[in-house]
Amino acid sequence: MHDDQEVAVLRLGHRPGRDERMTTHVGLTARALGADRVLFPDNAGQSLETVADITDRFGGPFEVELTDSPNAVIRGWDGRVVHLTMYGERIQDVEGDIRSAHRDEGEPLLLVVGSEKVAFDVYEAADWNVGVTNQPHSEVAGLAVFLDRLFEGRELEREWVGADRRVIPMETGKRVEPA
């Protein structure tokens, strides 16, 4: 986000039809909450279209891409890898180290978000396996809380570039203006 090193989100696993909305929500959450880029499996073209369309209308910068080898993205990542999983270390115990690696040491971060089953390789390749609670809930919720804590709320103040519309915060009702 902004002048920081890159934060990218990698979505593992996608079953067309069944996972369309979850994958799309991973992408839109990544965009709205300060990540710079999301990578989807190459069968998630429909989710890519939706995220690209929202970025066209509501602004960026934000990139969405497909990859035919998520494992190669993880192996080749020049920076630190964070795998979000309910089996990982508690976010409240490790977030300071991750923030420090990103902000102070200037390490790009790859946030890996699984779906159903994640191969053991991913646990081993990650610099941190992180649980946003050790309870079963939602990869979208975990990503959202992680990003809000990583950026300590600064993501809520970001400016959007190239939007053709913007929502004006309102006490009641809806107001959308040309950007």
Footprint on this chain of its own copies (rule: CB under 8 A): 21-22, 25, 28-29, 31-33, 54, 58, 86-93, 120, 123-124, 126, 129, 131-138, 140-145, 148-149, 153, 155-157, 160, 166-175
Of residues 87 and 105, the one with the C-beta less far from its own copies: 87
- φ and ψ of 138, to 5 deg: -145, 135
CA distance 108 to 147: 14
DSSP 3-57: TSPPEEEEE----TTTTHHHHHHHHHHHHHTT-SEEEEETT-HHHHHHHHHHHHH
Closer to its own copies by CB, 16 or 106: give it.
Answer: 16
> Minimum Å distance from CB 68 to its own copies?
25
Nearer Cβ to its own copies, position 105 or 152? 152
Q: How far is the CB of 99 from its own copies (least distance, A)?
A: 14
Report the distance separating Cα 95 and Cα 62, nearest Å. 24
Provide, rounded to whole angstroms, the least separation between the CB of residue 175 and its own copies.
Answer: 7
